[in-house]
Structure 1
């Protein structure tokens, strides 16, 4: 895991830090081939340069997002605006994180991907990779 992600986590309130640390640990373990960094001010994990998972501090709590999550078929992941294929869940306590669900979602993040890496080249058009 990128050291800047650890710094991001440490900068959160105690409750949010525990959520962030738990998510970082599970995402790193669940996506062993991924690289991670702070991207657009938030921790994000990439597979071959394509963003697949990340989290951010929101007013409501810590939002875990999957860039292609709308196609995961998971009721607990709420689709974004509809313009893209993202879906997310928000946590207000580390105890809310269901590790079995998270492991399943991380597996799907590897198996179901839309090409966000080249979205600018395609003028906003997404193409399915997997």
Structure 2
């Protein structure tokens, strides 16, 4: 059965990954109070004005926490993606690896550093910084 909520998504994961996902959800929720969150393309994602800013998903390397504009955060723990876009990620395999201060800091940066992913199709694949 397909997950309908972020909590349901987290419950479908193996125990160790579910614990990571629950911790990330709680930290993101408390760091980003005025955001919308939902399952988007099957994974938990948080949005500001319909623009995706942070999300996580289970991958082979662990639970991937991704910030859509994270490449501009200048944070050594966040590894940039392919270079085509501005995403950056970190992988977790244990709850103990999660630093609440890092998550809170990165979420605050996500509010202030955003590229317009919401309108990327309308803008013919070009990313524009919106703040």
Secondary structure at the counterpart of residue 64 of structure 1: strand
Question: How far does residue 96 in structure 1 lie from its aligned partner after superposition?
Answer: 0.3
**Distance in structure 2 (CA, Å) of the matches to 1:44 and 1:103:** 16
Partner in structure 2 of residue 113 of structure 1: 114
* Aligned-residue offset at 1:90: 0.2
Give, in whole Å, the separation in 1 of the partners of 2:51 and 2:59.
23
CA displacement, residues 88-113 of structure 1 (integer Å, 9 cap, x when unaligned): 00000011001111110000000000
Deviation at 1:37, TM superposition (A): 0.4
Equivalent residue, structure 2, for 1:65:
66
1:52 corresponds to which residue?
53
2:41 maps to 1:40: yes
| Superposition map of 1:1-130 within 5 A | 4-130=5-131
Q: CA deviation at 1:74?
A: 0.1
Q: Which runs of 5+ in 2 are unaligned?
A: none
Equivalent pairs, count: 128
- TM-score, normalisation: structure 1: 0.97
Paired residue secondary structure (2:89): strand
